[in-house]
Amino acid sequence: MAARLENLFSPLRVGSVTVKNRILSTGHDTSLPTDGKVNDALVAYHEARARGGAGLLVVQVVGVHESARYSSHILMGDTDDCIPGLRKLADTVHGYDCRLFVQLFHPGREIMESNDGTLPVAYAPSATPSDRFHMIPRAMSQRFIAHMIECYAATARRACEAGVDGVEIVASHGYLPAQFLNPNVNRRDDQYGGSFENRLRFLKETAVAVRAAAGDAVVGLRISGDEKDPAGLEEATALEAIIALQGDIDYVNVIAGTSASLGGATHIVPPMVIDNAYVAPFAATVKAKVSIPVFVAGRINQPQDAEQVIASGQADMCGMTRAMICDPEMANKASEGRFDDIRACIGCNQACIGHFHKGYPISCIQHPETGRERTFGAPAQTDTPRRVMVVGGGPGGMKAAATAAAHGHDVTLHEASPRLGGQALLAQLLPGRSEFGGIVTNLAREIELSGATVRTHSEVDMAMIASEAPDAIIVATGGKPLWPKNAEFGEDSHVVDAWQVLREQVNVGQSVVVADWRCDWVGVGLAEMLAQSGCHVRLAINGLHAGELLPFYVRDLQAARLHTLGVEVIPYARLYGADADTVYLQHSVSEAPMLIEGVDTLVLAQGNDTESTLLDQLEDYDADIFAVGDCLSCRTAEEAVYEGMKAAWALERGPGSAPRII
C-alpha cells in the first residue's frame, strides 16, 4: 500500500542531511516550554511525532535576543543555557531516525504580550505601527542592527552545538526580516532601506552570518509569499528575495499570511474554510526559479494531498503540522497504507492555536493526549477488565468507549438515535463547517478498532441498567437547546431554536434576529446561513463581538464573512422577549432597552441545557458513575472528548475506587 505514496515516502537531501520522507512538522508554538527552555513536556511532545514517523521536525521559534520575547512561552536561545535542553531534544528525536531543525526568531514589532503585563518595547526597521497589536516600535539603530545579526549567528551556533541538524531563519508572517523587506514598513533612508537591495540587506547579512556560525548544519529560510494584507509583502517581492538568497540557504519554506493584521493573521493557522494546500501554487512558482528544495505548508492535512503536491512537482516537502497534532502516528499509518485509521485534522483551531492564544499548552479536541503525553501515553492493557456501559454516542461517549475498550475493558455504547455523533452532526451543517463532521468519522473508526460494542436505537433506563448490571457507567447523554426562562415570548411571536433551524423543522421568515448568548459557532453560523438564503439578518450578541469565544483566526475570518453578507451585528444585547414583530433586548451594561422592529422570526442561540435525567437517577446506584460532556455541564466538544478519555483512564483504579462523577 505504501507504494501509492511513493513520492511522500521517498528520501530528500537537504544540504548536508538526508530526511527519510517528505513529512514535515513546521515550527509552531506549543506553550509547553517553561522559563524559555526546553523541558520534558516539550521533549515528550516532539518524541511522539518522531516515533510516529515524521521525517523532519522544526522546533518552535527560538528568540535570538532578549527583545524577541513576543509571548511568555517562547523558547530563548540568547545564552548558552539553551544548549542542554536542545541537546536532549535532538538526541531523543534522532533515536527515531528523524531530523530536527530550530527556528531563529525575532518578531520585530509583532509582540503580543510581555512577561509581567506591562507594554514592552518593540524594535523594527522603522517606527511603523502594527495594526494587530497596536504596537508602535522603536526604529533600530545601525549599531543595533549589527548586534542583532550577531545574535542570529550566536543562537545558530548554540543550536548546532546542541546537535540539531539545521536552523531556519524566520522571515515569515511579517516578523523582523520581513519588516525590513516590506517597503510599507521599512521607511529607512540608509543602506537598510529604500531599494530592494537595501531592504534585503538585513536578511542577506543574517543568512551569511548564520551560515558561517552553523558550520555543516543546514540553513533554511521560512518566508510568506503573499502576506494577505494590503500593506503586506507580495509574492513578487518574496520570490525576488528567495532567488537572491538561494546561494546562502539550503532550502526555503513558504507559507502565507502575516501577524501584522487581523486578516493576514488568519493565514498563520488557516481555519477549515480555507482550501487545502492553497499555498502550493506559490511553492511551484518558487520551485521553477530555484535549485534548492522547496517546503510548503497551509492546510495540508491528509497524506494523499501531500503526495499530490510532491508528485506534481509543486514542492519537495509538505508541512503537516496540525495533521500530526491530531494524529502523531499519521506518518506511520500512511506508510503502512492504513489510511482509514488516520485521525484526520478538521481545522477547527480550537485546542491547538486556540490554546496558545489563551496561554495554555497545545492539544487537540479529537486527541486530548496531545500536549499531555507524559500523563496519557499509550493505553496499557488492564489486569482487571470491567463491564462498562457508555450511555450516549456523541463525541464524549464515543471517546470514552474507544479508550476504555482499548484498555481491555468490555464496553458497550448505547445511543438512542440511529446515528453516532450527537451535536457534531448539527455542527457540520453550518456554513464552512462540514469538515467538523470528521470528528464523528474519526471517533467511529477508533471505536471499531478498539472492539467496543455499539448499539444504536438503544435508549437506556434504570430497568436496563438493573438488568445488565455493569461495573461502571459512563453517562454522556449530552444537552438540549436552552430556552431562557426569564424571557417573555408573546403567543403571536415566532420563536424557534438553532436545532430546529438546522434540522429544517421550522420555516424562517424574511426578517430574522439571531439572539446569540453563547458567542460561539452557533450564532455566527446561523446568521451566515440565513443571510446566504436571502434573509435580512441581525445578530444580537450578549457579548462584546461576534464569535467572542472562538479561536481568534476563526473568529476574524467569520467576522469578515458576516460583513460581506451584510449581517448587522448588535453587541451587548441581552434577550428580554418578543412579540408578533418586535424583539426586545436590553443593553447588558447600561440596561437601556433595545428594540428591533419588523421581525418575522427570532432564532435562539442561547446555548444548551443539560440532559441529566439518567445521571440524576443514578445518584444512589451501586456502581462507579462518570459524567462527561454536556450532561455534566454544557460546554464544547473539546471538554466532552477530554472527559470521556479521562473517565476511561479512571477505570484503571479498579472497582469501588473511582470517583462517582468526574
What pLDDT does residue 1 have?
38
Class of domain 488-606: alpha beta
The count of other CB atoms within 10 Å of the CB of residue 231 is: 16
Q: Residue 629's beta-bridge partner residues?
A: none
What pLDDT does residue 360 have?
95
Measured in degrees and rounded to the nearest 5, phi and psi for residue 138 equal -95, 135
* Straight-line distance from the first to the last Cα atom of the chain, in angstroms, rounded to the nearest whole number: 42
For the chain, which residues make up each domain, given as ranges? 2-358, 387-479+636-653, 488-606
What pLDDT does residue 514 have?
98
Which helix (H) or strand (E) element contains residue 400?
A: helix 395-406
What pLDDT does residue 655 have?
45
What pLDDT does residue 2 have?
44
Q: Measured between alpha carbons, how far is 255 from 241 in angstroms, rounded to an integer? A: 14
Instruction: Write the CB contacts of 465 (distance below 8 Å, at least 6 apart in sequence).
Output: 389, 473, 618, 621
Q: What is the DSSP string of 287-353?
A: HTT-SS-EEE-SS--SHHHHHHHHHTTS-SEEE-HHHHHH-TTHHHHHHTT-GGG--------TTTH
What pLDDT does residue 339 have?
97
What pLDDT does residue 653 have?
64
What pLDDT does residue 296 have?
98
What pLDDT does residue 114 have?
79
What pLDDT does residue 377 have?
83
Q: Does 2-358 match 387-479+636-653 in CATH topology?
A: no
Q: Measured between alpha carbons, how far is 118 from 127 in angstroms, rounded to an integer? A: 19
Q: Measured between alpha carbons, how far is 235 from 251 in angstroms, rounded to an integer? A: 17
Full-model pTM: 0.96
What are the helix and strand counts (H, E) for the chain? 21, 29
| Residue length of the chain | 662
260 and 274 Cβ atoms separated by less than 8 Å: no
Say yes or no: domain 2-358 is CATH 3.20.20.70: yes
Q: Which CATH number fits domain 387-479+636-653: 3.40.50.720, 2.60.120.10, 3.10.180.10, 3.40.50.280?
A: 3.40.50.720
Low-confidence ranges of the chain (pLDDT < 50): 1-3, 655-659, 662
Measured in degrees and rounded to the nearest 5, phi and psi for residue 585 equal -125, 165
Three cell numbers written together for 430: 453550518
What pLDDT does residue 656 have?
44
What pLDDT does residue 661 have?
53
